[in-house]
Chain A
């Protein structure tokens, strides 16, 4: 009985987590940022800004949303110029993989 309750609680947490992550990924720039990070693990904010054609403020907003959801971390890197590097977290990799699988299922229904 206790085990059953635990399993139900775990499933509920997982479901709410998926809903939360789906909300985070529903936005086009955030989805693209996560896609790029899923493939390359890290990317500079300057490159992201140019790729996504976003203003610095707009990019910052999307990055903060992803950081708050614990999907990415931002680190300062000192090279010949100061650079902020966005790195995907282990949780981010897992969440994006699950979301990609969910998308795959959705798209399978369309075709």
Chain B
């Protein structure tokens, strides 16, 4: 019986540690996206002048920039979650996501993101910039709700990012009507601030999990 108690106590600690790693992985991922997305958008918006500098076609340059940003972002995201997943896989049934369920999360969430951004892409100027904020904000909030209510994983940093994006989209909408270039710049800043805020929130919350009492 003493051995059973020992294993049980160890499992409680392992679960706390796995929650800690998951929060840190989210934090890192949001911070990385908060850095690379604005860089990518700045490069994308400056593609007419930068493509001349590199002696490249403007469309090829912007496609290359988009591809590189998505490739780097997804690469780092996968690395973060795979590094944390060794322990995540061992969580007990109360909050565990089996590898099969994790795959389903990824597919469902990926489809929602794709669908919302596809919708955003058909919205005409001058609202196209704001529509990307709506798409991102909605996709993040829907991802949070799906993870919380269907897959029983709660990551409040996502709701923070989503709310910042959606709230900021209202003044952005007004700016977009007045000045398109300023709206683009403001979009970059809003993206960056919301993702960095979510990431740092996650990072500061994660150590608290280690001292959590069960």
Seen from chain A, the residues whose Cβ lies within 8 Å of a Cβ on chain B are 28, 31-32, 35-36, 39-41, 43, 47, 50-53, 103, 106-107, 110
Query: Would you list which residues of chain B between 1 and 46 have a CB under 8 Å from chain A?
Result: 1, 3-4, 6-7, 9-10, 13-14, 16-17, 20-21
Decide if B142 is an interface residue (CB 8 Å cutoff).
no
Chain A neighbourhood of B14, CB < 8 A: 32, 35-36, 39
Give CA–CA (A43, B18) in the complex, Å.
12
Give CA–CA (A41, B17) in the complex, Å.
13
B13 and A52 contact, CB distance less than 8 A? yes
Least CB distance, B214 to chain A, in whole angstroms: 12
**Per DSSP, are chain A's interface residues mostly helix, strand or loop, or mixed?**
helix
Nearest to A49 among chain B residues (CB) is B210
Give CA–CA (A28, B14) in the complex, Å.
13
Nearest to A111 among chain B residues (CB) is B4
Chain B neighbourhood of A110, CB < 8 A: 1, 4
B3 and A28 contact, CB distance less than 8 A? no
Chain B neighbourhood of A32, CB < 8 A: 9-10, 13-14
A28 and B20 contact, CB distance less than 8 A? no
Q: Give me the 6 closest cross-chain CB pairs, A-B, nearest first.
A: A50-B210, A32-B10, A35-B10, A39-B87, A32-B13, A51-B210
Nearest to A104 among chain B residues (CB) is B7
Chain A neighbourhood of B86, CB < 8 A: 39-41
Give CA–CA (A107, B1) in the complex, Å.
8
Give CA–CA (A51, B16) in the complex, Å.
8
Decide if B90 is an interface residue (CB 8 Å cutoff).
yes
A40 and B3 contact, CB distance less than 8 A? no
Give CA–CA (A53, B214) in the complex, Å.
13
The 8 Å CB contact of B17, one of A36, A53, A107, is A36
Give CA–CA (A15, B17) in the complex, Å.
33
Give CA–CA (A70, B20) in the complex, Å.
28
Give CA–CA (A33, B21) in the complex, Å.
16
Chain B neighbourhood of A36, CB < 8 A: 13-14, 17, 87
Least CB distance, B200 to chain A, in whole angstroms: 15
Q: A47-B17, A51-B17 are in contact. Are A39 and B4 (CB under 8 A)?
A: no
Q: A31-B10, A40-B87 are in contact. Are A107 and B210 (CB under 8 A)?
A: no
Chain A neighbourhood of B20, CB < 8 A: 47
Chain B neighbourhood of A53, CB < 8 A: 211
Q: A47-B210, A50-B210 are in contact. Are A103 and B7 (CB under 8 A)?
A: yes
Give CA–CA (A32, B17) in the complex, Å.
11
